A and B are shown apart, each in its own frame.
Chain A
Amino acid sequence: MGNTRRLFLILVPYSWLLLLFLVPFAIVLKISLSDSALAIPPYTPTLDLSAGWAGIKALFADFDFENYAWLAEDNLYWKAYLSSLWIAALSTLLALMVGFPIAYGMARAPEEWRPTLMMLVILPFWTSFLIRVYSWIGILGQNGYLNQLLEWLGLIDEPLIILNTPIAVYIGIVYTYLPFMVLPIYATLEKLDADLLEAAEDLGCSRFQAFWLVTFPLSRPGVIAGCFLVFIPVVGEFVIPSLLGGSKTLMIGKVLWDEFFANRDWPVASAVAVLLLLILIIPIVLFQRQQQRQQEAEQ
């Protein structure tokens, strides 16, 4: 009886995983092994269930890795993957540098303020993501608010060109993903035992040393979670670079768009997506393993 219940409890999350992750992935993987065609849908072969077992066999017989070979042949894809990873890494670092002090300030604020501060971090989510990115166009544009302000202050004579440059992309990404960095760090810092800091200072640590030797290491789980939450979606980001960036920002999301829309080549687009998934998942799995081993060793 106990076993069936346990099985059932395990079954629920796993069926979600299967339904929301594995099935879509299988569809993408299947398309990535097909060939593009001028038809609806624009690839071949398609699964013909009416033919039964023979249909499934015919489907598998037509699969090949041609699209993956194509990706390997053209250096565009590698450049785009590398450039996306670089942009994501730099944005994550910037978000951490901005986000950590915010989270720290929130965690050290008087307890009655904290719900309000938390609310302020979450508040932007109440408006559409697109509208928030669009408003940056209004702020950063040549006749935008930022340039007007700087000119009014007398800091610049000529308007700065920020919109449609990589700087605008970084501003947009850091702004958009900041809450994902702040919240997990805040969660770990808030739970931090203040006695530990007192003890550190009693034992002769300066404030900075106490921060560096006690607070920061203890906030590591939050920092790691925040970095993952920012890094992973930014690698595949498409909207922010296409709205705020110029044409020179090469990102894999844009390449995917081109394959999908301009080339009508769903199979190659799917192959790009599968490869992106592997590039992200393999290092993360390795990292988690290493973390686990470290934890076990510590125990």
Chain B
Amino acid sequence: MIRNTTKLLGAATLALSLALPALAEEVRVYNWSDYIDEELLAKFEAETGIKLIYDVFDSNEVLETKLLAGSTGYDVVVPSGTFLQRQISAGAFQKLDKTKLPNLKNMWADIAERTAVYDPGNDYSINYMWGTTGIGYNVGKVAEVLGEDAPANSLALLFDPANMEKLAACGVHILDAPTEVIPAVLRYLGENPDSHDPDVLAKAEPILKAIVPYVRKFHSSEYINALANGEICVAFGWSGDVLQARDRAAEADNGIEIAYSIPKEGAMLWFDQMAITVDAPNPDGAHKFLNFIMDAENAAAASNYVYYANGNLASQEFLVEDVIADTAIYPDAETVKNLFSTTPYDQKVQKIVTRMWTAIKTGS
């Protein structure tokens, strides 16, 4: 009996020792959906010989819950600025070893200055992409429903029930992200969009409740396809996602023209940051991945594919014209003045906001 066990153990050890060298080095990346040119992933594997395991999510909340549960198994994750700030204080990330990131020299000081609000000194993260939250719309349908002078460049398109009532028939999606939608409503009302005062936040509720009957769905990723195939005509969503919908419609050649507008009232400017988890299985490989992404040509390839601006100054010479010259992607100085950023809510305010969001969505 004992001899058998020893034999078995011996066999198991042998199997392990055979298996181990065969295991290639891996880096596990958890990024937003539709957020990279897949060819870049293959390129990284070819250049470094590291196997890349790439998973996607579509909400900051899902990522945060995984991070706070601990041992995600991911090396690199991509939270947005406000979430990053909170996760840094929860101890979810490790400090970057900047000696391993020579491509940091390519980064854009203007953007680094803004992201330092969330991550002082940019000690924990690099900027991957940044963008705005605005209005994606089907040009033909919206003109058909609301006339040629439809307020497509104004938040009134979404937050004025008179417009929404007419748009309901052709379909409206809104991001299922209270931290994106509520600041926009406050801006529309002329309040401070970054207010954490429950009384001010409460002012958003009646506005949203009035339009909820006309919203087909609150969702943060379905609107790309829904816009592209004509299921909906308006979406409150992220800039690059809408532009991807525009391209998918053009590729399908289905006669649908999608456009993105930064509302004249102003829009949220956000930053998606790559960071390395505190318990990353392969921090060295993670640094290699970050450095790879910060390569000027790679960053440009990513932006050319996903239609989001990046925080990499050196990449700009490699950007194609319809990315760098599009003010929906790289807004001009005048528009930038009108953009605002937000800071994370504390636990108590977060609860109030989520509760309000549930009440709004369910109409209760």
Residues of A whose CB lies within 8 Å of any CB of B are 36, 38-42, 74, 76, 79, 141-143, 164, 246-250, 255, 258-265
Contacts and interface: CB of A to CB of B under 8 A. Distances in A.
Given A38-B86, A261-B61, A143 B229 contact: yes
Interface in B66-88: 67-70, 86
A36 B362 CA distance: 26
Nearest to B278: A40
Given A39-B91, A247-B215, A76 B65 contact: no
Would you call the interface of chain B mostly helix, strand, loop, or mixed?
helix
A143 B231 contact: yes
A247 B218 contact: yes
22 contacts: A36-B347, A38-B86, A38-B89, A38-B347, A39-B90, A40-B68, A40-B92, A42-B69, A74-B355, A142-B171, A143-B229, A246-B217, A247-B212, A248-B361, A259-B354, A260-B65, A261-B61, A261-B64, A262-B354, A263-B351, A264-B65, A264-B347
Interface of B: 59, 61-62, 64-65, 67-70, 86, 89-92, 171, 176, 178, 212, 215-218, 229-231, 347, 350-351, 354-355, 357-359, 361-364
A143 B230 contact: yes
A141 B218 CA distance: 16
Nearest to A245: B217
A250 to B, nearest CB: 4
A248 B363 contact: yes
Would you call the interface of chain A mostly helix, strand, loop, or mixed?
loop
Nearest to A43: B68
Contacts of B351: 263, 265
Contacts of A40: 67-70, 90-92
A250 B362 contact: yes
Contacts, number: 77
B2 to A, nearest CB: 24
Contacts of A39: 68, 90-91
Contacts of B361: 247-248
Nearest to A76: B358
A41 B68 contact: yes
A42 B90 contact: yes
A169 to B, nearest CB: 13
Q: Among A248, A255, A265, which residue has the most Cβ atoms of chain B within 10 A?
A: A248
Contacts of B90: 38-40, 42
Contacts of B347: 36, 38, 264-265
B178 A262 contact: yes
A69 B291 CA distance: 50
Contacts of A143: 229-231
Contacts of B212: 247
